[in-house]
Structure 1
Amino acid sequence: METEKWIDKGWDVIVNFGPKVLAAIAIWIIGGVIVKYLLKGFNKAMEKKGLEISLKKFLSDLVGWGLKIVLILVVLGTVGVETTSFAAILAAAGLAIGLALQGSLANFAGGILIMIFKPFKIGDFIEAQGQSGTVKEIEIFTTKLLT
C-alpha cells in the first residue's frame, strides 16, 4: 500500500513537472546556440569598428555574461522559479559593487572612452596632468608614457 502511494506521487511529479523540465532543457540548448551566434556577430561588429584588442575582449565577456544570465533567468522562469527575487539581488549587487568601486570605475570608463574615440594613439606625443611624453601603451585602466 505504501509503495503505491509513492508511485502515485512520483507519477504526479513527472506529469506536473516533466513538461516544464523538458521545455527548460530545450530553451537552455536553443538559447545557448543563440547566445553563441549573437556573440559571433558582436565580435564581427567590433572588428569592423577597429576597437582595441583589450576592449574587444572585455566587451565580449561582458555581453556574453549578460546574455548567459538572462538565459539562466528565462530557464528558471520556465521551470516555475520566481525570478523577481534574482533580479532584485542582481540589482542590489550591481549597486553595491558600483558604489564600492566608484573611483576605479571612473578610471575604467575613461580608458574605454580613450580606446573608442582614440584622441591619441601609440607613438603620439601628449601632455596630461603635468606629464608629457610619447604614448607607449594604452590599456583600459592605464596609459603608459615614455618620458
Structure 2
Amino acid sequence: MEKITQLFEENHELLLAYLLQLVAAIVIFYVGRMVAKALRRFLEKSLLKRSVDKAVVSFVCGIVYAVIMIATVLMALSQVGVQTTSFIAILGAAGLAIGLALQGSLANFASGILIILFRPFKSGDFIDAGGITGTVDKIEIFQTIMKTPDNKLVIVPNAQITGSAITNYSAEATRRVDLTIGISYDSDLRKAKQILEDIIKSDERVLAEPAAAIKVGALADSSVNILVRPWVKSADYWGVYWDTLEKVKLTFDEHGIGIPFPQMDVHIKKDKQE
C-alpha cells in the first residue's frame, strides 16, 4: 500500500494529465455523437419534406452519421495520445481503392442522389434524357427505369442522364404544337390560312390563350410554308398534332388547295447552229 501511495505521489501530475485527457476524449466522443444524431435528424426531416424516397433518406443519413462518428472517434483517440495518422492513411488508401474499383457505380450513385434531391423529373413524366425518350417509371439510386412509347422497358444509368441535357415534356401544363403546312404557289394563300384558322378554332382541345399563330414561314423551293402554332394541354399534344394533320389534308382536298410534292424544274438549252 505504501508503494502504491509513493508511486502515486511521484507520478500524480502525469496521472492527472492522463485522466484529464481521458475525460476530454470521452467528452469529445459524446458531444460528437450528439452532433451526429442531431444532424441526422435534421437531414432526415429536411429530405422527407422534399418528398425524397424514405430508403434514400435512410441511406444518406446513415452515411452522414457514419462519417461524423469516424471523425469523432479519431479526434477522441488523438486526445488520449494515440497516433491516428496511420489510421487516416489506411482509411484514405482503402477509400481510394474502393473509389477506383467502383467509380462507375459511384458516379451513378451520385447522379441518383442529385436527381432525387433536385427533381428535374418525377415518376410519370415524359422526358428525353440520356438518349432515350419515354415515360419515367421508377427513379432508383443507380439507374432510372423508363418506358418508351412502344412499351419497351429501358434501364438508363443515372450518370448518363445527368451527363446530358434533360428535356421534360411534362413539366409544364401547356405545350405548343408546331406544324408546318406547305401549299402550292398557285393555291389561294388567304383561303388556305382561313381554312387552317377554322380547323384550329373548331378543335375544343386548343386553348384560347395563348392565341394560336398562323403565319407564312417561308417561300420554299416548291411550296409556300405556313406555320401553325396552337397551344394545348400537355396531355393533348399528340392527339391535336395527329388530328390536325389529318383534317388539314382532307379539308384542303375538298377546297382544291394543293399540297405539292418536292419538285425541281430543269431547263434545257440548245445551242443554235448557223
Question: Would the TM-score normalized by the shorter structure come out above 0.5?
Answer: yes
Higher relative contact order (CA 8 A, sep 6+): 1
For 1:81, the equivalent position in structure 2 comes to 82
For 2:109, the equivalent position in structure 1 comes to 108
Task: Please report the TM-score for the alignment, with normalisation by the length of structure 2.
Answer: 0.46
Distance, in Å, in 2 between the alignment partners of 1:114 and 1:30 is 33
Deviation string, structure 1 residues 26-52 (Cα, Å, up to 9, x no partner): 222232222211222222232344433
Contact 1:24 1:79 in 2 (8 A): yes
Secondary structure of the 1:144 match is strand
Secondary structure of the 2:52 match is coil
For 1:21, the equivalent position in structure 2 comes to 22
For 2:57, the equivalent position in structure 1 comes to 56
Matched, 1:98 2:99: yes
Tell me how far 1:140 sits from its aligned partner: 0.5
Tell me how far 1:105 sits from its aligned partner: 1.3
For 2:174, the equivalent position in structure 1 comes to none
Distance, in Å, in 2 between the alignment partners of 1:4 and 1:121 is 75
Contact 2:48 2:54 in 1 (8 A): no
Secondary structure of the 1:119 match is coil
Change beyond 3 A, Cα 1:41–1:130: closer
* 1:8 maps to amino acid: L
Deviation string, structure 1 residues 99-125 (Cα, Å, up to 9, x no partner): 111111122122222212322211123
Aligned positions, number: 146
Change beyond 3 A, Cα 1:38–1:118: closer
Secondary structure of the 2:64 match is helix
Secondary structure of the 2:24 match is helix
Distance, in Å, in 2 between the alignment partners of 1:133 and 1:57 is 29
Q: Unpaired segments of 5 or more residues in structure 1?
A: none
Higher share in helix: 1
Secondary structure of the 1:45 match is helix
Deviation string, structure 1 residues 35-79 (Cα, Å, up to 9, x no partner): 211222222232344433333222211111111011101111111
- 1:111-126, aligned counterparts within 5 Å? 111-126=112-127
Change beyond 3 A, Cα 1:31–1:110: closer
Contact 1:54 1:140 in 2 (8 A): no
Q: Percent identical across equivalent pairs?
A: 45
Between Structure 1 and Structure 2, whose CA radius of gyration is higher?
2
Contact 2:32 2:68 in 1 (8 A): no
Tell me how far 1:22 sits from its aligned partner: 2.2
Cα RMSD of the aligned pairs, angstroms, is 3.0
Greater displacement, 35-44 / 94-103: 35-44
Distance, in Å, in 1 between the alignment partners of 2:124 and 2:130 is 18
Task: Please report the TM-score for the alignment, with normalisation by the length of structure 1.
Answer: 0.78
Distance, in Å, in 2 between the alignment partners of 1:101 and 1:25 is 36
Secondary structure of the 2:135 match is strand
Q: Unpaired segments of 5 or more residues in structure 2?
A: 152-274
For 1:44, the equivalent position in structure 2 comes to 45
Greater displacement, 26-35 / 76-85: 26-35
Change beyond 3 A, Cα 1:139–1:19: same
Secondary structure of the 2:113 match is helix
